[in-house]
Amino acid sequence: MTAAAALAASPTAAFAQESHAGGGRLPTVELLAGVTHGIVQGAAVLLVGLVAFVALVWLPISRAAGTDGGSGAVFARGAWALFAALALVGLADVAVYTAWATGRPLGLGLYLEGLFGTTAGQVALARLGTGLLVAFAVAWAAGGGGIGRWWAAAGAGGLLLATLVPESHAVAQGLLAITVIWLHLVAAAFWTGGLLAFPILLLGPLRALGLDERADLRRRTVRRFSKVATVAVLVLVATGLYSTLLNVAGLGALVGTAYGRALVMKLGMTVLLLATGGLNLIDKGDGPLGRMVGLELALAAGIFVAAGFLTSLPPAN
């Protein structure tokens, strides 16, 4: 069987095996596929979220305070680092997927066939291209010229998030499900992008300010981001509930299937992340923000990995 024949269907469909409907242990290659899927999703979502944070939160606050100088370059370096992770792990994800789907030893010829001749590979290439577009747009925005450039980069990010949709179960569930999963990704970007942006701020632009000015700017940034995060979380809850109703047959499926258990893990870590973010909102950024954001990023990483398994496992319906 050629790679093209094995992967002619959508990426999700190729992973949908009935053997995972029960509580069996996942093979190593599928565990690896879930992890690589999650890292790819995380890198794309964080990249878009970082851009959105600059446009919606940081630039309005910092420019009002007259402290914007040079911060764009710091965020641009972060964007390029995320693109590098997206590219490297994305190409590795195609390798894992091709080897699993064909059941053959992976060589250069088979890998290239999987990359250029299959739906999964073509989606990965589209993601690579749009990710590069976002990175260049961020570099362009960081060179100056106003907040409009950052919004243009965020618009390119919307296209990048669209390349994650073909890996979801929504492709087989109609236009509404596709729209909902894209909105879910956008909301995740607006929320989690800020979690990455705060360490960049603490180690970059904020570090160069005086103590009082730094504390004031940090409080104002936390307050503004909290408003954005609140809206994003509401959208996440609504879209996540819709997707759960489509993909989970009932409460028993949450513990009786691999998909259900991955969803429970994702939900559990999301609740912890919400609680941690709530503490930051309560103390208005005056508490140990660096340590709290580090914990939030660790939880977000776990959520992305769990989401990776949700795209690679058959639904529990």
Q: Tens of pLDDT along 132-178?
A: 999 999 999 998 878 999 999 999 999 999 999 998 988 889 999 99
CA angle 234/237/240 to nearest 5° reads 145
Q: In angstroms, rounded to a whole number, what is the distance separating the alpha carbons of residues 27 and 36?
A: 15
Q: Quote the CA–CA distance of 37 and 113 in Å, as a whole number.
A: 20
Q: What is the mean pLDDT of residues 283-312?
A: 78
What is the model's pLDDT at position 81? 96
When the pLDDT of each residue in the chain is averaged and rounded to a whole number, the result is 84
What is the rounded CA–CA span in Å between residue 64 and residue 56? 13
- Side-chain half-sphere CA neighbours of 166 within 13 A: 18
pLDDT at 303 over 80: yes
Residue 203 lies in a domain: yes
pLDDT (0 to 100) of residue 80: 97
Q: What per-residue confidence (pLDDT) applies to 36?
A: 93
Q: Is the separation of the CB atoms in 43 and 150 below 8 Å?
A: no
Residue 116, in any domain of the structure: yes
Q: Return the minimum-mean-pLDDT range out of 12-26, 43-57, 171-185, 274-288.
A: 12-26
**What pLDDT score does 290 carry?**
56
Which range of 64-68, 78-82, 106-110, 115-119 scores highest in mean pLDDT? It is 78-82
DSSP class of residue 316? Answer: B
Residue 92: inside a domain, yes or no?
yes
pLDDT at position 48 is 97
- How many independent structural domains does the chain possess? 1
Provide the pLDDT for residue 212: 76
Per-residue model confidence as pLDDT tens digits over 231-267: 999 999 999 999 999 898 888 888 888 899 899 999 9
More confident residue, 84 or 260: 84
Q: Find the mean pLDDT for residues 114-129.
A: 93
The pair phi, psi for residue 248, each rounded to 5°, is -120, 125
Domain for residue 66, yes or no?
yes
CA angle 293, 290, 267 (to 5 degrees): 15
In a domain, 126, yes or no: yes
Radius of gyration of the chain (CA): 20
Residue at 272 is within a domain = yes
Residue ranges making up the domain that contains 115: 25-312
pLDDT at site 12: 39
- What confidence score (pLDDT) does residue 9 get? 44
- What's the rounded Cα separation, in Å, for the pair 162 and 253? 28
18 lies in some domain: no
Residue 5 lies in a domain: no
Average pLDDT on 12-36 reads 61
pTM for the whole structure: 0.87
Task: Give the pLDDT band of residue 15 (cuts 50, 70, 90).
Answer: very low
Phi, psi of 316 (to 5 degrees): -95, 40
pLDDT tens string 54-80: 999 988 988 777 776 567 888 999 999
Whole-number Cα distances in Å, 293 to 64, 202, 285, 298: 24, 10, 11, 9
**How many alpha carbons fall within 13 Å on the CB side of residue 258?**
23
Query: What's residue 69's pLDDT?
Result: 55
CA proximity to 142, closest of 195, 224, 69: 69
